[in-house]
């Protein structure tokens, strides 16, 4: 049996000590990063101006550069924060789920969807990964790949145990992750379906995708 516990990772370890992994507190960011996030979400990374960020924050451009070397550094800081949050919650969810593949897959999907719903602006920045420099992009993918690997391990384990009928666990894990990440592009709080209900819907969809039919 494979060890299903999350790997020891400095980024994940920062945020795994959570009272409840289903709870996503309001996002708190330094003023510069909050403005940068708003600008990038509204206008895109390329169209976001350092001068505009400085003006909205109420500082000079040189003062802004004192905190962040350039616009790329702001994007990296935001993506680091995003990965710290979602990986931390997912790692805690996996620990809570234990060894059972159905619980692991369900907990992962629930944690990811709750993140996408509660922090949709931050999660939307994944679409700006193309704007990262090669080194920063590689580092970001190293972090992001934990999600895909944890999903695939849960699905593969479930298939090996005869709980999931799918014979394509790799494709299933990519499909499940893609559908969860897509939520950030359209979901807005205050709509007819809250984050918790949406997460449960996506858990059912994920279990259907891996052809889980329950146990006798």
What would the pLDDT profile of 100-121 be if each residue is shown by its tens digit? 999 999 999 999 999 999 999 9
Tell me the whole-structure pTM to 2 decimals: 0.89
pLDDT for res 1: 39
Q: What is the dihedral of CA 50, 54, 55, 59, to 10 degrees?
A: -160
- Ranges of the chain whose pLDDT falls below 70: 1-17, 215-216
Distance CA 91, CA 10 (A): 12
What would the pLDDT profile of 161-180 be if each residue is shown by its tens digit? 999 999 999 999 999 999 99
CA 30 to chain centre: 20
């Amino acid at each position: 049996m494979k060890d299903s516990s999350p790997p020891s990772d400095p980024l994940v370890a920062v945020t795994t000590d959570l009272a409840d992994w289903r709870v996503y507190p309001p996002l708190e960011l330094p003023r510069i990063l909050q403005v940068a996030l708003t600008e990038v979400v509204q206008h895109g990374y390329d169209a976001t101006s350092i001068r505009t960020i400085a003006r909205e924050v109420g500082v000079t451009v040189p003062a802004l550069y004192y905190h962040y070397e350039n616009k790329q550094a702001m994007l990296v800081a935001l993506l680091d924060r995003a990965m710290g949050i979602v990986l931390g919650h997912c790692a805690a969810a996996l620990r809570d789920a234990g060894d059972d593949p159905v619980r692991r897959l369900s907990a992962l999907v629930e944690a990811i969807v709750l993140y996408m719903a509660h922090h949709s602006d931050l999660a939307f920045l994944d679409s700006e990964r193309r704007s990262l420099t090669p080194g920063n992009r590689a580092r970001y993918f190293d972090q992001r790949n934990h999600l895909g690997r944890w999903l695939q391990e849960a699905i593969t384990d479930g298939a090996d145990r005869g709980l999931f009928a799918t014979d394509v666990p790799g494709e299933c894990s990519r499909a499940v992750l893609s559908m969860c990440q897509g939520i950030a592009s359209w979901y807005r709080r205050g709509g007819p379906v809250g984050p918790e209900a949406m997460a449960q819907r996506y858990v059912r969809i994920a279990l259907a995708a891996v052809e889980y039919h329950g146990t006798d």
